[in-house]
Amino acid sequence: MTTKTNHSEPKVELTNAPLVYVDSLMGLAVGPFVSKLILGVEEQPQKHVPSLQISIPTNALHDLAKHIIALLHDPEAQKNLAKGHKDFQDSIAE
C-alpha cells in the first residue's frame, strides 16, 4: 500500500487504532460543516451490508479527496499499483 504524503507531519502510531475492512461505499452525505461516509462489505453477490460510519468535517473530507487524487496521479504510485496487479496475476497463472 502506498502511503506517500507531501507534508511533514509526525508519524502516527497505529497500535491502538482499530482496523476495519470495507469494500464498498454505501452512502455519502456532504454537509457544509460535517459529512458522513457509510462503508460496507459485500456478504453475498450484490448484497452489501453497512459496517462502518464515519463522520468527518467536510473540509477534512475535501483534503482527503485531494490527497487521494494526487496519489493516484503520481507516476510512482501508478507504477507500484500496476506492478502489484501484475505480480498477483502472475502468481495465480502459475
Rg (CA), the chain: 17
Query: Is 0.75 topped by the overall pTM?
Result: no
Domain annotation covers residue 87: yes
DSSP-assigned letter for residue 2: -
* pLDDT tens track for 17-56: 888 999 999 999 999 999 999 999 999 888 999 999 999 9
5 has pLDDT over 60: no
Domain count, the chain: 1
Tally helices (H) and strands (E) across the chain.
Answer: 2, 3
2 falls in which pLDDT band (50, 70, 90)?
A: very low
In this structure, what C-alpha cell is assigned to residue 24? 464498498
CA atoms within 13 A on the CB side of 12: 7
Strand extents, DSSP E, the chain: 24-30, 34-44, 47-57
Domain annotation covers residue 64: yes
- Structural domain including 69 reads 24-93
- The closest alpha carbon to 34, from 64, 54, 20, 63, belongs to 54
CB neighbourhood size of 2 (10 A): 12
